[in-house]
């Protein structure tokens, strides 16, 4: 294909073409044009990349904390200086507007900053004289090569939820990015090399399910951090654990925001528009179901509609609020939910199918869509749509609203808008969701807390980053020490007791 680039794998500190000969097109969603072709690994290519990570592990594991931290600091500095470059790459392949792409990089950078504190995070405990002249100490050690399998919607931030801590803790990494926007991973690999990370510690494996399947069965891979849709998360968790790996598999979402009658409706309407339509709704923490409680519904919907109509839809490199969807197939899939909602009797307040976008005619455009009078059995409510579609469900009471949220099979994020501290406190106690916002629509925890949902939004028991991330990428060892002297002599076959 002339005029396009090939996006290859990264192995041992350099680009690697692989031998499969398989390629998939990469598209700019704002123009609809193919801008590159990504290599798709076969089993042999996948093994070559995994072998590089396995070969680099012993030396990296034994690299001092001081040296590891220096490399992390250097990576952080380079990322901070050059994050605009990464944001442009994200916009060109994902479609999100530049400011949003920059925001994604900044949230990823926060995890790098957290990982710079690894000497403190890995400190163990020491107990002198746990028994007479016997000391006990604990330590955490790296696991080995780690697979990170990431989705299209955050090509930089989601990998950065994992790899800074994995590398800081002494592991090596194979990142398998989404084949829809694979270039960000290579840019980050080059940055690691520039920061002084030894070859083989951070590797990129481009590909589809063939590459994923090899990561799930290959004995060199010790742990898998996956983020993507729920069916694939379920599969990855089942297959990875069946092959003896530690797995955290973050899945899909259907996030509700409850607006109580006492809320400030202008602030709530702003928040609904930002969280419903930011990144074209292609965020796992997007609000897709607004639960309006009581008599405020008409006024709230009117305020949201008014704001929604002011949004500028267009090419992410221009002065737009919202960009295109990632592929034409996905755009059509999302639009089909609007068709289905309309057919089922919901009220289309703002119809994104009629959008006038500031961008090329062949871009994958779909405008922000507000659908009122949605009921819980409609597919626009039950399914994760992953597009700019905000459904409004009207209920009479807080209890009905809570019941809706808690009945969802997903439990990623949720928010409540209220000025009533007692109601908010009750909600945070009662809601069955992993991440809760109180007057905060997209409650993505800071790097030093952990990110993760409940129910079908996460398989495994460890969330991403924060101390749970440190634990996921290390295993504990407890060491009992006694320096022998004559007082320790004699035979005793009884179970050791502490005296």
Please list the active-site residues.
284
Residue 150 lies near ligand NAD (rule: CB under 6 A):
yes
In the set 192, 202, 386, 417, which binds ligand NAD (CB under 6 A)?
386
Query: CB under 8 Å to 14, separation ≥6 — which residues?
Result: 199
CB of 397 to ligand NAD, least distance (A): 29
Query: Would you say 185 or 259 has its CB closer to ligand NAD?
Result: 185
- Piece of the chain touching ligand NAD by CB under 6 A; list 49-57, 59-67, 151-159, 416-424: 151-159
**Residue 100 within binding range of ligand NAD, rule CB under 6 A:** no
CB of 108 to ligand NAD, least distance (A): 12
C-alpha to C-alpha distance for 496 and 498, rounded to whole angstroms: 7
Total binding residues toward ligand NAD, as defined by CB under 6 A: 27
Which residue's CB is nearer to ligand NAD, number 157 or number 304? 157
- List the x/- string, 356-385, binding to ligand NAD by CB under 6 A: ----------------------------x-
Contact 136, 187 (CB under 8 A): no
CA distance 81 to 450: 26
| 188 is an interface residue for ligand NAD by CB under 6 A | no
Q: Smallest gap, in angstroms, from Cβ of residue 134 to ligand NAD?
A: 44
Is residue 179 within the footprint of ligand NAD (CB under 6 A)?
yes
Q: Would you call 258 exposed, middle or buried from its count of C-beta atoms within 10 A (0-12, 13-18, 19+)?
A: buried
Choose the stretch contacting ligand NAD; rule: CB under 6 A; options: 31-39, 84-92, 222-230, 487-495: 222-230
Site track 236-275 with ligand NAD (rule: CB under 6 A), x = hit: --------------xxxx----------------------
Contacts for 353-359: CB closer than 8 Å, 24+ residues apart: 355/313, 356/313, 357/313, 357/314, 357/315, 357/324, 358/312, 358/313, 358/314, 358/315, 358/318, 358/320, 359/30, 359/31, 359/313, 359/314, 359/315, 359/318, 359/320, 359/324
- Residues numbered 66-85 forming contacts with ligand NAD, rule: CB under 6 A: none
E strand or H helix that includes residue 81: helix 65-94
Contact between 119 and 61 under an 8 Å Cβ cutoff? The reply is no
Tell me the C-alpha distance between 45 and 42, whole Å: 5
Give the number of other Cβ atoms within 10 Å of residue 74's Cβ.
16
Strand order in the sheet with 145-149: 14-16, 9-11, 202-204, 172-176, 145-149, 223-227, 246-250, 458-459
Name the residue with tokens 């090419």: 315
Q: Which is nearer to ligand NAD, 148 or 378 (CB)?
A: 148
Least separation, in Å, of the C-beta of 490 and ligand NAD?
A: 57
Contact 297, 391 (CB under 8 A): no
Phi, psi of 20 (to 5 degrees): -70, -30
Instruction: Find how far residue 50's CA is from the centre of its chain.
Output: 22
Based on the number of CB atoms within 10 Å of its own CB, is 358 exposed (0-12), middle (13-18) or buried (19 or more)? middle
Scanning residues 155 to 174, which ones bind ligand NAD (CB under 6 A)?
A: 158
Closest CA to 289 of 396, 454, 410: 410
In the complex with ligand NAD, the residue whose CB is nearer, 41 or 300, is: 41
Residue of 90, 227, 311, 416 that binds ligand NAD (CB under 6 A): 227
Q: If binding is defined by CB under 6 A, does position 232 make contact with ligand NAD? A: yes
Q: Report the alpha-carbon distance of residue 319 to residue 315 in Å, rounded.
A: 8
* Nearest alpha-carbon partner for 373 in 396, 353, 348: 348
For residue 480, give the H/E element and its range: strand 474-482
Told to check if 153 binds ligand NAD by CB under 6 A, we report yes
Q: Which is nearer to ligand NAD, 212 or 370 (CB)?
A: 212
Nearest position to ligand NAD, beta carbon: 228
Among candidate residues 269, 241, 290, 277, the one with its CA nearest the CA of residue 401: 290
Q: Which of 52, 111, 205, 284 binds ligand NAD (CB under 6 A)?
A: 284
In angstroms, what is the minimal distance from the CB of 318 to ligand NAD? 25
Contact 437, 428 (CB under 8 A): no
Q: Which of residues 412-431 bind ligand NAD (CB under 6 A)?
A: 412
How far is Cα 397 from Cα 408, in angstroms, rounded to an integer?
18
Min separation Cβ 420 and ligand NAD, Å? 29
Binding of residue 387 to ligand NAD (CB under 6 A): no
104 is a contact residue toward ligand NAD (CB under 6 A) = no
Interface with ligand NAD includes 229 (CB under 6 A)?
A: yes
Of the pair 225, 418, the CB lying nearest ligand NAD is at 225
The contact pattern for ligand NAD, residues 439-468, with x = CB under 6 A and - = no contact, is --------------x---x-----------
149 binds ligand NAD (CB under 6 A): yes
Alpha helices in 209-343 (DSSP H): 209-217, 230-242, 265-277, 297-308, 328-343
Identify the residue among 20, 178, 255, 308 touching ligand NAD (CB under 6 A): 178
Q: Which stretch binds ligand NAD (CB under 6 A): 120-128, 221-229, 317-325, 471-479?
A: 221-229
- Residue 350: CB atoms within 10 A of its CB come to 23
Residues that bind ligand NAD (CB under 6 A): 149-154, 158, 176, 178-179, 208-209, 212, 227-229, 232, 250-253, 284, 384, 386, 412, 453, 457
């Amino acid at each position: 294909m002339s005029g396009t680039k090939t996006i290859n794998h990264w192995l041992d500190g350099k680009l690697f073409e692989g031998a499969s000969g398989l390629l998939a097109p990469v598209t700019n969603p704002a123009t609809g044009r193919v801008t590159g072709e990504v290599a798709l690994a076969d089993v042999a290519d996948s093994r070559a990349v995994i072998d590089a990570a396995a070969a680099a592990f012993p030396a990296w594991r034994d690299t001092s904390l001081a040296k590891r931290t220096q490399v992390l600091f250097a990576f952080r500095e380079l990322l901070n200086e050059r994050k605009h470059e990464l944001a442009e790459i994200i916009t060109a392949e994902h479609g999100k507007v530049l400011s949003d792409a920059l925001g994604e990089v900044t949230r990823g950078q926060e995890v790098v900053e957290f990982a710079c504190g690894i000497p403190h995070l890995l400190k163990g405990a020491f107990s002198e004289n746990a028994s007479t002249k016997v000391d006990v100490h604990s330590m955490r050690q790296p696991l080995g090569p780690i697979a990170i399998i990431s989705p299209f919607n955050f090509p930089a931030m989601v990998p950065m939820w994992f790899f800074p801590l994995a590398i800081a803790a002494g592991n090596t990494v194979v990142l398998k990015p989404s084949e829809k926007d694979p270039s960000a991973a290579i840019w980050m690999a080059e940055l690691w090399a520039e920061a002084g990370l030894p070859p083989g510690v951070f590797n990129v494996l481009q590909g589809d399910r063939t590459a994923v399947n090899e990561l799930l069965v290959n004995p060199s891979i010790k742990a898998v951090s996956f983020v993507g849709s729920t069916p694939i998360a379920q599969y990855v968790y089942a297959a990875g654990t069946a092959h003896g790996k530690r797995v955290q598999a973050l899945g899909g979402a259907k996030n509700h925001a409850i607006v109580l009658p006492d809320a400030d409706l202008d602030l709530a309407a702003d928040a609904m528009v930002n969280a419903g339509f930011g990144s074209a709704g292609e965020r796992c923490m997007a609000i897709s179901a607004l639960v309006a409680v009581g008599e405020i519904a008409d006024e709230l919907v009117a305020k949201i509609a008014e704001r929604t109509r002011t949004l500028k839809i267009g090419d992410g490199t221009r002065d737009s609020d919202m960009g295109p969807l990632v592929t034409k197939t996905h755009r059509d899939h999302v639009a089909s939910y609007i068709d289905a909602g309309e057919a089922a009797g919901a009220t289309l307040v703002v119809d994104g199918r009629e959008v006038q976008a500031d961008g090329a005619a062949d871009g994958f455009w779909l405008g922000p869509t507000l659908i009122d009078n949605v009921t819980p059995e409609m597919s626009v409510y039950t399914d994760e749509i992953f597009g700019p579609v905000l459904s409004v469900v009207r209920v009479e009471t807080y209890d009905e609203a809570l019941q809706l949220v808690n009945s969802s099979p997903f439990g990623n994020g949720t928010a409540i808008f209220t000025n009533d501290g007692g109601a908010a406190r009750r909600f945070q106690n009662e809601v069955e969701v992993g991440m809760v916002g109180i007057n905060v629509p997209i409650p993505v925890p800071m790097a030093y807390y952990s990110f993760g949902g409940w129910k079908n939004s996460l398989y495994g028991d460890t969330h991403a980053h924060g101390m749970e991330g440190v634990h996921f990428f290390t295993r504990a060892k407890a060491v009992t020490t006694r320096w022998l002297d004559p007082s320790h002599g004699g035979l005793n076959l009884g179970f050791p007791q502490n005296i």
